[in-house]
Amino acid sequence: MCPSLDENYWLGRYQRNQIGWDAGEATIPLKQYLDQLHDYEVEILIPGAGNAHEVAYAFQKGFQHVHALDIANAPLKRFQQRYPLFPSANLHHENFFDHRGQYDLVLEQTFFCALHPNLRNDYVKKMAQLLKPEGRLVGVLFDILFERDGPPFGGDKEMYVNLFTKELDVLKMEPCYNSIKPRAGSELFFVAKRPAKPQ
Ligand SMILES: C[S@@+](CC[C@H](N)C(=O)[O-])C[C@H]1O[C@@H](n2cnc3c(N)ncnc32)[C@H](O)[C@@H]1O
């Protein structure tokens, strides 16, 4: 049976160091996406950030408004110790679905796959609320169906496109050419945009 994927579940995973998802540094697809941005004033959110390697990468690159959010406090606390200059107000110990804010860019890195599939419609609705008009949700999604009961939960391109187009314009959803080695051939890179406000 699928475990209850609440705060205690995730805290337990961090306490037992069962964090096989953690790449140990920002992943290449997200690094390279950030590398080609030139506006360092954009508001960026990384939900389900965990040890927040992408947050650190963006912050160290000079992005001024980077926010990390996680339901588990332990990795956020450790992040604050490692990066004392990172603004504590931008570390959100919160359930993603309760978060309020408006962002130009939300980065997806093994957060979607951590949520139970029955939350997928809510994820997309919430993303549409958190993005400013024309804001973008960018990142990687697993392109595999895992044969197990707990996270990660996978999917495929058709499933994701059908889901995301309920609220967002999917600009790109394609095999990821620059995945980290262990995920090579099993990820999609995607860019989805919240439509502009109707005229
Ligand atoms: C698979 S881990 C990925 C962590 C990080 N993105 C990485 O790649 O190392 C999923 C993360 O999402 C967090 N999480 C799960 N459900 C959440 C929710 N409803 N709201 C906020 N964070 C959540 C977990 O605590 C965990 O840190």
pLDDT-derived band of residue 199, with 50, 70 and 90 as boundaries?
low
Domain boundaries, the chain: 7-17+24-193
Report pLDDT digits (tens) over 161-186.
Answer: 999 999 999 999 999 999 999 999 99
Calpha distance 114→100 (Å, rounded): 20
pLDDT value, residue 198: 64
Do the Cβ atoms of 73 and 54 come closer than 8 Å?
no
Do the Cβ atoms of 29 and 140 come closer than 8 Å?
yes
pLDDT value, residue 10: 97
Find the 197 Cα to ligand 1 centroid distance in Å.
30
AA identity, residue 117:
P
| Mutational test site, ligand 1, from 15, 28, 70, 94, max ligand atoms within 8 Å of CB | 70
Report pLDDT digits (tens) over 7-40.
Answer: 999 999 999 999 999 999 999 999 999 999 999 9
CATH topology of domain 7-17+24-193: Rossmann fold (3.40.50)
AA identity, residue 102:
Q
Q: Give the dihedral of Cα atoms 151, 119, 77, 66; nearest 10 deg.
A: 120
Find the 54 Cα to ligand 1 centroid distance in Å.
13
